[in-house]
Structure 1
Amino acid sequence: MKIKTQLLELCTKYADKRVLGYKNEIELIKESIENNDKVSNEDDDSGNSKLLDDLEKNMNYLNDANKMREQLKLVRPNLVSDNVVLGSLVKTDSITFYIALSLGKVEVEDSEYYIISLASPLGQLLKNRKKGDQFKFNEKSYEIKDVL
C-alpha cells in the first residue's frame, strides 16, 4: 500500500534526523571538552563537569534514537493483518492512525494521519483490535472502520 510506504519513509527520515542531530551534538560537546582541557591549567574542571553531563544525556538520547530506527526496521508496509499490529493503518470514524513511532499528526497527500507508537497508551489500546471494534480514549469514542 502506497500510503503506508510513504508514512514509513517519513518516520525513517525523522529517526535518521534525530540520530544525526545527536551525533553532531556529541561531537560538539567532545570538541568543547578538548578545548577546555587545552585552555585550562587550573584544577577546577566544573565547566567540563557540565559538558560531561550533557555528553551523557546526548549519548542516551542517541541510544534511544537508534532503538527507534531499529524498531522501524520491523515495520512491513506490505503486511496485511486483520488485527492492529506494528505498521498498521487504522481508520476510525474520525481519525486515521499509523502504528510505528510517536511522531504525532502529519499530512500526506492532503490527508491527516496520526503516527503513534504501539507502546503508547493509545497504541496499547488499539493493539490487536480489528475492524468494527470500538474504544474510548480521552473521553471520546471511536469505531475502527478498517485496518490496513
Structure 2
Amino acid sequence: MTTKQKLLQICNNHVDKRINDYKEEVNLIKESIASNDKGNSEGDDSGNGKLLNDLEKNMTYLNDAKKTKEYLSNIKTNIDSKEAVLGSIVKTNMMSFYISTSIGKIELDDAVFYAISVNSPIGQLLINKPIHTSFEFNQNKYTITEII
C-alpha cells in the first residue's frame, strides 16, 4: 500500500468513527426523548427542549461527516500532478501536508503529515501550486519542495 493510500485510509477511518459516534449520540438522544415523553403525562416538555436542540446539532454534525466521507471518495491515490491537488502529498521545507480533510497531524511510517482541507487557510495557499512555489503562513516562509 502506498503512502497516499495509507493516508486516505486513515482519513476515511477517522470520518467513519465520527459518523458512528454521531449516529450513537443521535440514537441516545432519541431514546431519551422517547422516555421523557412516556414519563410525562402532563404536557411538561421542558426537558425535551434541550434534547431536541442536541438532536438537531448532532444531526447537523452527522450530515457534515457524511459529506466529508463523500468528499473523500473523490480522492484518487494514483493521480500524478505537477501541482498540488486534492489527494496530493505536498512536502515543504517546513512540513508535509496531505490535501484531503482537516484532521491534523498523522504519524505514518516514521514521517509526519498534516491532513488539511482544500478550504483551510493553508490549503488555499497550496492548492494548484507547483514545486518551488514559496508562500508565507503564520509568519513562516514555506517553499514547496515536492508534490507526490
Task: With the length of structure 1 as denominator, give the TM-score of the two structures.
Answer: 0.98
SS at match of 1:66: helix
Partner in structure 2 of residue 60 of structure 1? 60
Structure 1 SS opposite 2:77: coil
Q: Secondary structure at the match of 1:91?
A: strand
Paired position in structure 2 for 1:19: 19
Shift of the alpha carbon at 1:43? 1.5
| Equivalent residue, structure 1, for 2:48 | 48
Q: Which position in structure 1 is the counterpart of 2:108? A: 108
The residue that corresponds to 1:135 in the other structure is: 135
Structure 1 runs, 4 residues or longer, greater than 3 Å off: none
1:24 partner SS: helix
Counterpart secondary structure, 1:98: strand
For the residues of structure 2 that align with 1:46 and 1:56, how far apart are their CA atoms?
16
Partner of 1:85: 85
2:125: which partner in 1? 125
The runs of 5 or more residues in structure 2 that have no matched partner are: none
Rounded Cα–Cα distance in structure 1 between residues aligned with 2:147 and 2:19: 31
Rounded Cα–Cα distance in structure 1 between residues aligned with 2:27 and 2:98? 34
Residue 98 of structure 1: aligned partner: 98
SS in 2 for 1:85: coil
Structure 1 residue aligned with 2:32: 32
What is the aligned-residue identity percentage? 51
d(CA) in 2 for partners of 1:83, 1:135: 15
SS in structure 2 of the partner of residue 102 of structure 1: coil
Deviation, 1:106, is 1.2
For residues 63-107 of structure 1, give each alpha carbon's deviation from its aligned partner in whole angstroms, at most 9, with x where no partner exists.
000010001000001111111110000011120000000011110
CA distance in structure 1 between the partners assigned to 2:122 and 2:132 by the alignment: 17
SS in 2 for 1:80: coil
Which whole-Å CA distance do the structure 1 matches of 2:6 and 2:53 have between them? 37
Alignment coverage as a number of residue pairs: 148
| 2:64 alignment partner AA | D
The alignment partner of 2:129 has SS state of: coil
